Chain A
Amino acid sequence: MGFIRRSSPKARPMPVSPKQARTLKHRSWVAFLVVPPVVFMSLFVVYPILSAFAYAFYEWRGLARGEFVGLANFKEVLLGATMAPTVWNAFLHNVYALVALMIIQNGGGFFLAWLLYKEPFGFRFHRVAVFVPVVLSTIIVGFLWKLFLNPNFGIINQAIYSIGLDSWAKPWLGDSSTALGALILANAWHFVGFPTLVYLAGMQRIPSEIIEAARLDGTTEWQLLKNIVWPLVAPSTTILFTLLFIGAFNWFEIPYVMVGLDGSPFGSTDVLGLVFYRTAFGNQSASIQNFGLGSALATLIFLFIVVFASMLTLWLRRREIQF
């Protein structure tokens, strides 16, 4: 305030105090930092999402937008005689994948992390080794597993033959009872390093006195894991469960590479991502591109993920303990 009174009359045409100038400088600096990402996000994230949402309310003939049809596309996706059975079948497979990956990938990651935490012989090497597949491109992993699972020269069946369990050998990706499981295992192999690393970091954050105190009290390994480690890595669990939830319902790459757009054999590996791609862009054998139905499906997947991922996060947050 004092500055204003003391300022000379000459400065009056531009009545900017140093403080105001500082504020202005500060504000333009903030604007300089904030505006580009906001423009970028609006242009490349918000606008496409909103336009996909808008597309869902129109009829499409190829890529030409036709009439406004209200909720008809949503109705067809959820209840239509042709589309709905495919969508629900795929949704069910996404749920299977979520449950199985939750156990195998996140659960496996937790136990691997515990093993690494205890620093066994060569743990430095194993810490890296577990994470290496995560770094590989999903396309490569899918291709690799497709070769491993080849019924006639894949190493999996070769291994089974070599130990004499011939009846166990199967055309893994061609059998509707094993194909989805094979995709889930390939995905778990690919990504198990990620939960391992996150859990390992979470475990290393636990004050060592707590674990030592528990050991002195004579807890068994299982009690220690169940009652001390598991509750204390809750923040890691929150992140991993939420990410896996989102990933499981957006699942696309591994199924696409390993079984193709049709969810072969006969829809037994179909997931929502594949249904969306086929509906919006068509595939070799259907030729029909329907942006209206595709957008409606994409919007529904998006809303489902946002709502349930938020609920899941809130619920998981509540079990986190401060220490």
Chain B
Amino acid sequence: MREPTMKLTRRILMGAAAGSFLFSGTAAMAQQTELTFWSWRQEDKAFYQDTIKKFQAKEPNISIKFETYAPENYQTILSTALAAGRGPDVIQVRAYGNLETIATPGYLLALDKQNVPELVNFPEPALAAETLRADGKIYAVPFAMQAQLVVYNKKIFKDNGVNPPKTWDELMTLAQTLKSKNITPFANGTATAWQNETIVGGLLSSMLGKQFEEDIISGKANFTDPRFVNALAKLKDISQYFSPNFTGVDYPSSQQLFVAGRAAMFAGGSYEVANFKNQNPTLDLGVFPAPVLKAGDQALIATYYDGGYAVNAKSEKKDAALKFVRFLATPEYGTAFTNTLKNLSPIKGIKIEDPITQEVAKLAENSMSYLMLVRFRYQEPSGSVLLQSNVQKMLAGQQTPEQAAAEINKGIATYYKPFQK
């Protein structure tokens, strides 16, 4: 009912203040919807501000306030705000079990092809990462695919006349060659618990194989399967080529070792590449998938989706929020995201400039799930925690691969039906 008056006011103001930036700005404000958008990515702030500007070029009546919180506290702050019936309109959320924590109580708006037609731009596994298992509905637009693989220093490889290995034996020989020349083959250390899981994903995926994942899901195999135990045994073998005193080397120290060019390889996430390059732009890096057991096997990387953009179910500005989320699902946005942040957007039809990201995208065509995160982070004890602590213990020489596998299996079997037969 106030619409006509407002329009009139605006017209008068617009007319009166033609050419005056200040006044036209104030006038536009008069009927603007302001959204709040929460994220844990402080380091991507400039990119998001830029995205908001691009969005506003299309939707001048919507303005967006981008606010970030420290990653380790984000989930707590967000859950508390949502529980109190507040929280932002648009929310950057994580995926899988973490998403369920806030989607289960009904804090998020369910998305479908009606309210977000752009969902067709995403591959199935990406949407699955943002789907609540209980009701099968999608609650967020996915933003990034991550992969566990091996990052290597091209210069060190070239100087020592070695090439990225295809098979596990080649990797062992390569590591031996580097070590004999006093170069630390792998920068990795195991003191930070979660690094053990990334190491497993980066080095063992090809030996585990897609079939193993299927068998775990169907219950045909469990974690005492020889494929898993043997892969762990191989990991124990290669750990002699990790950084010196690796059981006491934490995540930041191992990163520094690699960034300083003192180690040739880093088994870990594709997200490390951008980070390494930021710290040392002179690094010439490449990536390769986990080596296969015997030539001819399929080489795999382990992939998962980081999270997505969701709409607060209690927001009073759902329409505007949906418009923004739809914008974040376009190939245009995906391309900008990938090229600016050097993180692979899962949106189909994006154009990738960065050669390493291109490489990762190509490798992702042959991938298995980053198993524990994708499948076993829904209940306690989480598969990730079990894998991390038992691999850590195995690599410290305090249990055998068989014992580690049995412990992991025992923990998961307490709640995972297919293992209880």
Contacts and interface: CB of A to CB of B under 8 A. Distances in A.
Contacts of A262: 193-194, 385, 388-389
B380 A288 contact: yes
Contact of A174 (B83, B94, B190, B382): B190
A282 B389 CA distance: 16
A281 B76 contact: yes
B380 A286 contact: yes
Nearest to A81: B414
B392 A152 contact: no
Interface in B196-242: 197
Given A82-B380, A152-B249, A287-B382, A266 B393 contact: yes
B389 A64 contact: no
B245 A174 contact: yes
A285 B393 contact: no
A133 interface: no
A262 B393 CA distance: 13
Interface in B179-205: 189-194, 197
A288 B83 contact: no
Interface stretch (B61-69, B100-108, B341-349): B100-108
B192 A264 contact: yes
B389 A266 contact: yes
Contact of A62 (B101, B247, B396): B101
A47 B106 CA distance: 27
Contacts of A174: 189-191, 245-249, 396
Interface in A268-296: 281-282, 284-290
A161 B384 CA distance: 37
B366 interface: no
Interface residues of B, number: 50
Contacts of A82: 380-381, 411, 414
Kindly name the residue among A149, A267, A286 whose own CB sees the greatest number of chain B CB atoms within 10 A.
A286
A284 B194 contact: yes
Given A150-B253, A176-B396, A285-B388, A171 B101 contact: no
Interface in B237-285: 243-250, 253
Contacts of B189: 174
A265 B393 contact: yes
Interface residues of A, number: 35
A151 interface: yes
B401 interface: no
Given A262-B389, A264-B191, A287 B96 contact: yes
Contacts of B250: 146, 173
Contacts of B384: 285-286
A211 interface: no
Nearest to B73: A281
Interface string B281-293: 0000000000000
B105 A288 contact: no
B262 to A, nearest CB: 10
A282 B100 CA distance: 13
Contacts of B308: none
A121 B393 CA distance: 50
Contacts of B392: 264-266
A300 interface: no
B51 interface: no
A-B pairs with lowest CB-CB distance, top 10: A171-B248, A174-B248, A64-B105, A151-B245, A174-B247, A151-B248, A287-B97, A285-B384, A287-B98, A62-B101
Given A265-B392, A286-B377, 13 more contacts: A62-B79, A63-B105, A82-B380, A171-B249, A172-B248, A173-B250, A260-B193, A262-B194, A262-B385, A262-B388, A264-B192, A266-B390, A288-B379
